[in-house]
Structure 1
């Protein structure tokens, strides 16, 4: 898997302000200038022919030369894969063209997504409770990816895990396993469907103070310890 096991290196190239060498013909120069002006959006060949206003045979010959000289490249437009799309070699396709971080060469990178889902479940299970930032820190320190990954990307994957009922979203109450997480901070726990051996079942009570309270067995409606007088329970109700 190309995006795994290596240092982070996913960087968008900056366009070079210098023009290519003067070895271009007049027709090549016209086509190259039009393509380059579109930057990271590129251009469909039919639109290119219209803007350049050159005969088809001239366009075909000139584009072949520009590709050979590696001044332009063909890119996949996920919105219409049947169209031949061209872009100056110095640019990386915009998300509108490439599909964003989860696509490679116009196809959804399901292998990479499945790998991250599996890793995130393991991280959350190991930490018992994890925040998005905590998952990101573990992934970065592990060095298992060649590419940079953002909190936004992690949130997208975790959202899928929530929909898959592999993890559940909870809010920290600042006690027990939440003691290192600020009160009210959104975090995540594994459910009993995460597919991990020996995993404890997580119930709905885990997200409220009662779920981790060591005095829960002494708590009664009219007792000294009571929901009506519990400061932590009252704070939780405010969220």
Structure 2
């Protein structure tokens, strides 16, 4: 007979054991509230207590409701997500609207003119919201390579899309340092059994001669170029090695007079032009 489960303490006495149980349960993946309360009930937590517990965890930003298809699921926030949820809770409706517009653009970013169009808010309201979002580190500013004078906004946790022409080109002319970078990359790959793009990026970042610093997307671009030129081979989706060097074949025939003879097609044993009468063979 199974051992009798000891009911967990009700709210007001000790929440810690129940909180840990919920966290352990949701750590295995998101689930709907009905499934979660059912699992808690199996562990001795009454339905009413489970509901209060879930509400408590949501109020303290430890758990959040997320849309998954046509249903809602409970998601356990990471420490970073919990901090962001706390910041979001303090925003006004206008600030949330601006944040959502910035969030939608991901790594591309957005500037104030487009924000005005997307949100319908007055410029002064947008400017105030942007200042607040930047100050609490929910978004940040950057200047794209294509327009150094334009201030753009993106999520604080993301890196902007790198304009590769800004790295590889100067005034639309391919700069010579690409060959130097390729050489450094090949030497590094040759010294390892296999590498990832992240390995190569870290190596280049520590290389004083590589200026400007390359973003991961540029490193991936360079590796793809080396694959196309046959100098690097792909082991799998994310791992690379130096390509096996092909051994040049030697065709001895092309080094004989016959291999260069302009009338080779008319040369026959009993013909007017024949090996026996060839003047080039004697010289060779």
TM-score by length of 1: 0.44
Structure with the greater alpha carbon radius of gyration: 2
Larger RCO: Structure 1 or Structure 2 (Cα < 8 Å, ≥ 6 residues apart)?
1
Q: Which has the higher helix share?
A: 2
If the length of structure 2 is used for normalisation, what is the TM-score?
A: 0.38
